[in-house]
Structure 1
């Protein structure tokens, strides 16, 4: 009995340590591993029986507790006060969100032109000579509001071109680009498709992008081994396996929070933006250029002042929707990989 207690205490301590370590050092884990380490998208991912282990379940329960606590707090006077404070602090950002997006994307495309040989994101290499100049032209179209839709259409074209070169599964990492393209087109033409705000569309694509990326942390933790070997202090004593599980859970939870209630998603956007910005100091200009688009989107989400009444169902249903999202993304990732690279007979057994 005492041995069982000791084991349970040890496991709980490990989970707590891993969670704290990942939250403190997630900036390093948040750097897109494909930009800095060797990777093989067609390689066999880690089995679901290894991903869905006891530590993973414990970390997920801890994440759900935090998510539900945020929902509970939002419906109190404290939550209202926090929203009012956020509204005051972010008032100027909210007014100039579109301008910030245009300026940041202008920096992004000019940087890609300067670097050369890149389609939208650092690991998508190309030797097509006109691509850098095309991306410079997209930056020029951002100067005027009326030509913003041309930049949006150009992003869709580049995304399609990269998909033809690298495959659908690889580009599944980057639906945020399509969301930004829709944002530029809708803002430039003053459209609200199906009554949806352009910012809400890009918010959903940002959430999808980050939830997919978190699955990759669980499926291919070995891709990050060189980073962890070079910076062992990142894990704060946790094993690399536990650290990557915790980093993935944190990223998935914050990404899921982007589609939840206003205070929860605004706080998640602030945390994610801070993580991405802190990673720039560690990994330099490549990381700054590659993540500039999602950083400005997260800042816009943090400044969004749309309110909604938070009811008990938002708290009660949070675990169900979180679990459904987790199951869906795990299925899409593993089934998609098996279909494209291994055949459906390679689907993992849960």
Structure 2
């Protein structure tokens, strides 16, 4: 009898713990995660060649619960998009962002100009704060890129300049490190395509940079699981970011929030616009938390998110059934995890598990 009561009590306590954990996960999703928007390599020590946390530790019970909540939110958003509430939301967004949509190209060019002038002013940086350089011609090239953005006729040259800087960064820091930043190649393609008034194999310029942004954020989210310890000094310095959760759980949650929202950028029109709005809130709040370095470093991605939020072009390819959403998210997560860990093991000779 006593053993039976003990087993029942244990089952109840486990059930209560699971419910409490679910509420914690739900709270993180509702309140957001500012640290998901702060690029840890800009603020803390890191070792990209170091052994990442094994997948057997990443794919834990918390990870499964977080993924379950992510699938629930993502699927719910896809269902709502097809309802009258979704149509009302889309119309409201259209009215709110109409002015931005009409000036998307000029807006992106202006912010990119600010970005490259800021890099030149700071000096010694290729594309992002941790990509240091002593090359004397990087600064003049950054100024030339900014100058080329003043006219549509020279914008493709600015795009070519960004590709040159990206290639220099790959040479100095390696392919795996620059896998964090395909958004710059997406921006280069956007500038070239808009300047030439062309599409890329039928894909409009904005769709190209949108997908590059999604890949950038999905890849960055894996680092929050593979190297959570990189962010711990940041969380100690800014304890309010964690919303009271322990650092390990918070980093798992931050990674899942960022990955899901990033994948949503590649999904249907309303879902990606809402995801862009949430990501915008996270990035902008991080700018207040981490200062001007974060403002400069994330200005390019912020303007792309504004452009995605303002984009109201539906296409036939965007008409996906809601039931495809969970499968798509899980498939993308599996592929990205596999690519990250296998790629790291191949380049740095580290273990996968």
Q: Report how far residue 18 of structure 1 moved.
A: 4.2
Higher mean Cα deviation, 100-109 or 223-232?
A: 223-232
Q: Report how far residue 19 of structure 1 moved.
A: 4.4
Do the aligned partners of 1:23 and 1:247 also contact (CA within 8 Å) in 2? Answer: no
1:217 to 2:259 alignment: no
Q: Report how far residue 16 of structure 1 moved.
A: 2.5
1:31 alignment partner, one of 14, 34, 38:
38
Q: Report how far residue 91 of structure 1 moved.
A: 0.4
1:1-350 map, 5 Å: 1-21=8-28, 24=31, 26-308=33-315, 314-342=321-349, 346-348=351-353
Q: 1:299, 1:306 → 2: CA distance?
A: 14
CA pair 279-135 structure 1, distance change in 2 beyond 3 A: same
Q: 2:79, 2:38 → 1: CA distance?
A: 32
Name the SS for the 1:90 alignment partner: helix
Do the aligned partners of 2:25 and 2:69 also contact (CA within 8 Å) in 1? Answer: no
Task: Give the alignment's Cα RMSD to 1 decimal.
Answer: 1.6
Higher mean Cα deviation, 84-93 or 304-313?
A: 304-313
Q: 1:61, 1:21 → 2: CA distance?
A: 14
CA pair 70-25 structure 1, distance change in 2 beyond 3 A: closer
Q: 1:238, 1:5 → 2: CA distance?
A: 23
Q: TM-score under structure 1 normalisation?
A: 0.95
Q: 1:269, 1:312 → 2: CA distance?
A: 19
Do the aligned partners of 1:204 and 1:259 also contact (CA within 8 Å) in 2? Answer: yes
Q: 2:238, 2:24 → 1: CA distance?
A: 17
Unaligned runs of 5+ in 1: none
Q: Report how far residue 23 of structure 1 moved.
A: 5.3
Q: TM-score under structure 2 normalisation?
A: 0.95
Q: 2:143, 2:155 → 1: CA distance?
A: 14
Do the aligned partners of 1:37 and 1:226 also contact (CA within 8 Å) in 2? Answer: yes
Q: 2:32, 2:263 → 1: CA distance?
A: 20
Name the SS for the 1:195 alignment partner: coil
Do the aligned partners of 1:256 and 1:322 also contact (CA within 8 Å) in 2? Answer: yes
Do the aligned partners of 1:210 and 1:255 also contact (CA within 8 Å) in 2? Answer: yes
Unaligned runs of 5+ in 2: 1-7
Higher mean Cα deviation, 148-157 or 228-237?
A: 228-237
Do the aligned partners of 2:268 and 2:318 also contact (CA within 8 Å) in 1? Answer: no
Q: 1:129, 1:15 → 2: CA distance?
A: 53
Name the SS for the 1:110 alignment partner: helix
CA pair 186-212 structure 1, distance change in 2 beyond 3 A: same
Q: Report how far residue 27 of structure 1 moved.
A: 1.7
Q: 1:22, 1:76 → 2: CA distance?
A: 23
CA pair 23-293 structure 1, distance change in 2 beyond 3 A: farther
CA pair 19-40 structure 1, distance change in 2 beyond 3 A: farther
Do the aligned partners of 1:149 and 1:189 also contact (CA within 8 Å) in 2? Answer: yes
Deviations 1:247-283, CA, capped at 9 Å, x for gaps: 0000000001001111100000011011111111111
CA pair 101-7 structure 1, distance change in 2 beyond 3 A: same
Q: Report how far residue 12 of structure 1 moved.
A: 2.9
Name the SS for the 1:124 alignment partner: coil
Q: Report how far residue 21 of structure 1 moved.
A: 3.7
CA pair 309-133 structure 1, distance change in 2 beyond 3 A: closer
Q: 1:127, 1:16 → 2: CA distance?
A: 50
